[in-house]
Structure 1
Amino acid sequence: MDEFYIGVMSGTSLDGIDIAFCEIKPHSFELLYSAAYPFDKELKVDILSAINTPTTLKSIGELDTRLGKMYADAIENFIYEKKIDKHKISAIGLHGQTLWHEPNSEYPFSMQLGNPSVVTAQTGVRVVTDFRQKDIALGGQGAPFAPAFHNYLFSKLNGNVAVLNIGGMANLTILGDELIGYDTGCGNVLIDYWISQNNSVTYDEDGKWAKSGVVNTDLLKLMLKEPYFSKEAPKSTGRELFNGKWLKRQLELFSLKRGGNSHIKNRDVQATLLELTVHSIANEVKKTSTDLLIVCGGGVKNSYLMERLKNELSGIEVVSSDECGVSSEFMEAMAFAWLAYERVHKRCVKLSSVTGASKDSILGAIYE
């Protein structure tokens, strides 16, 4: 029986809301429609403030409702624009907006906001959300989740295949007898942060600003000493580590090592941050026997980033998922449509080998 699901994703970059309308059958998956909607600018500022500075329960509660309203408005617009019959939609898979990810503390948790009751009340469609907490309750990282979907899509390809998603953070999936996946570290988050602070734009189109700079190898070596990069999997990360404060500390340490006299051009910092993303990814891929790397996520749009990644991984075929017939831009939204399908059918998602959870489990909560 054909079933139809909507997947909704907004990542740590806070650059937009990706929506995918998918037809899912027992042995096939097809993306029918997709669209991206802008992230509310005022809401983005308030989310970053909540992440980076002390906040209140009132602010968190209001952010939850505001995000729910933003998602619901985007979904309603999407349904109207694509002329989708609401009655045919089995469920909306909603990831929500991650504010904080803390799977390794004494009381581990991962917080995604975007009130699902608001979404289902406004759209009239049931919502599946809260995918991460069950995995964390079973001792897992609660992330990344994309590897399960990558495995579903690409496991039948020949050769040693890996899938790389470059969003705000970057995560790597190694396909094989045992599914392996983890966050390699920062993807676009620091690149976007630095250019937004210095050039009044939200992202470095095609990496042009980075390409105009010169990589500072000493700064790059310093940043690559971040303990997260040498940590063994399973592991996951987010803005709670890689953020403006982290970058400020790195630049201060760099200055101290130079005796407090270390002027570095802003464009050179941008070039070095792009290399940080490239090297932190390439260092992990080189540990594997990968001969085909399929790349998806917003990083695919950065042509200079892709160029540098291919150069650093010479000998490995690096392609976008679009070249394999799967949308690189909407891969994550599609993943949450699929996860909603799995939840509705009460299936365990095979992720314990990725996250370190004690067992695979049914993931997500249904809001009727």
Structure 2
Amino acid sequence: MTSFDPQLPLFLGLMSGTSADGIDAALVQFPEAGGCRFVHGHTYEWDATTRQALIALGQGREPASLDALGQLDAQVGIAFADAANRLLDEAGVPRAQVRAIGSHGQTIRHRPLAEPAFTWQIGDANRIAEDTGITTVADFRRRDVAAGGHGAPLMPAFHMAMLGNTGEDRAVLNLGGIANLSLIGRDGSLRGFDTGPANALLDGWCQRQLGHAFDADGAFAASGQINAALLARLLSDPWFALPPPKSTGREQFHLEWVETQFGADAMAPADVQATLLELSAATVADALLAHLPGVRRVLVCGGGVRNPHLLRRLQARLPDVVIGSSAEYGLDPDYMEAMGFAWLAHETLAGRPGNLPSVSGARGPRILGAIHLA
């Protein structure tokens, strides 16, 4: 059995992000003195057919039918429940010792600027509660949207709870399918927002050109040359000039969007990959320098932490900033968001708000999520 404090409740977080590259499952505890004790974690691959359907919906394609969408919602819920059960079996932890599961679900639409605004995550939490026998908290984003916010990003509150009060201007950078920042000021202030695409475009282009799910170590991008004209056209998208609060997803940044910027130029596939990687580095660096100009440290989490070429390009644009992994502060970068949704479940059950109006733009603090009792 995995070691944990028997006096503290266990929480299990489930997360599948914009890239839909797997279900991250993390089992954690939250000591009363603060912090997050990581107990066990694993990433479970999606069934290939399900993943293709999720990516297609996330990029704005319409479902084949309402029946197909309803079945996908149930299938995703079953997959999340299976991930939770497998994690607990691997850890040797009885289900009765887990206080709750926090499930993000899978985003298929995110339209915070629509009228009325909405965000939509599927993955039926009733299935999770039923198949695991554990109380499940889910649907975290829509209450914030109902209160006038973007419903995203939600991780800055967790980052502040775990990494705040440092006496320096620091940022937490999540390099998932979409990149987002938590800006923690030395004065205790906190802001956060999405900066644009990160792994979603890189993974998509690599899959199309090489048949690989991701660009291992950024080698494909490193083999190409940045196309300055293409980069300028991509950066001219009006979304990048929007002020925070702001959030985005695959429906905004997808390969079809990239291809509309090719123009008449003939570009080698590796050059496109190099340019997409530079787009990620440039938009993150520009946002940091604009909104936290005194930043001295950036802690990176998410899949991009394993792309050394992306980190090198980011460092080149931020030469005076120390860039490192969140692991240096005891938070596993691979499971940061899963741990964050476990924390949100913990906060919801405690009756505490999980959103930050300074981040999302909501009218005020709100208790997030729907509770599905075991």
Q: TM-score by structure 1 length?
A: 0.96
Aligned to 1:157: 166
Letter in 1 for 2:193: Y
Aligned to 2:307: 302
**Which runs of structure 2 are paired with 1:1-368 in the superposition (5 Å)?**
2-28=8-34, 29-51=36-58, 52-55=60-63, 56-176=65-185, 177-251=188-262, 254-255=263-264, 262-287=265-290, 288=292, 289-368=294-373
Contact preservation (8 Å) 1:3, 1:25: no
Gaps of 5+ in 2: 1-6
CA–CA distance in 2 between the matches of 1:47 and 1:8?
A: 16
Deviation at 1:344, TM superposition (A): 0.5
Gaps of 5+ in 1: 256-261
Give the share of equivalent positions with the same residue, in percent. 39
Contact preservation (8 Å) 1:185, 1:280: yes
Helix, strand or coil: the match of 1:110? strand
Letter in 2 for 1:231: L
Helix, strand or coil: the match of 2:261? helix
Helix, strand or coil: the match of 2:93? coil
Contact preservation (8 Å) 2:180, 2:193: yes
Helix, strand or coil: the match of 1:233? coil
Deviation at 1:349, TM superposition (A): 2.4
Deviation at 1:307, TM superposition (A): 1.2
Helix, strand or coil: the match of 1:250? coil
CA–CA distance in 2 between the matches of 1:19 and 1:37?
A: 8
Q: Deviations over 1:191-221 (max 9, x none)?
A: 1111111111110000001000011011101
CA–CA distance in 2 between the matches of 1:80 and 1:341?
A: 22
Letter in 2 for 1:210: A
CA–CA distance in 1 between the matches of 2:92 and 2:319?
A: 45
Helix, strand or coil: the match of 2:260? helix
Deviation at 1:186, TM superposition (A): 0.4
Aligned to 2:4: none
Deviation at 1:25, TM superposition (A): 2.8
Deviation at 1:364, TM superposition (A): 0.8
Contact preservation (8 Å) 2:100, 2:137: yes
| Comparing 93-102 and 282-291, the one that deviates more | 282-291
Q: TM-score by structure 2 length?
A: 0.94
Contact preservation (8 Å) 1:282, 1:309: yes
Deviation at 1:350, TM superposition (A): 4.6
Contact preservation (8 Å) 2:19, 2:55: no
CA–CA distance in 2 between the matches of 1:160 and 1:37?
A: 35
CA–CA distance in 2 between the matches of 1:81 and 1:225?
A: 48
Moved over 6 A (4+): none
| Comparing 77-86 and 170-179, the one that deviates more | 170-179
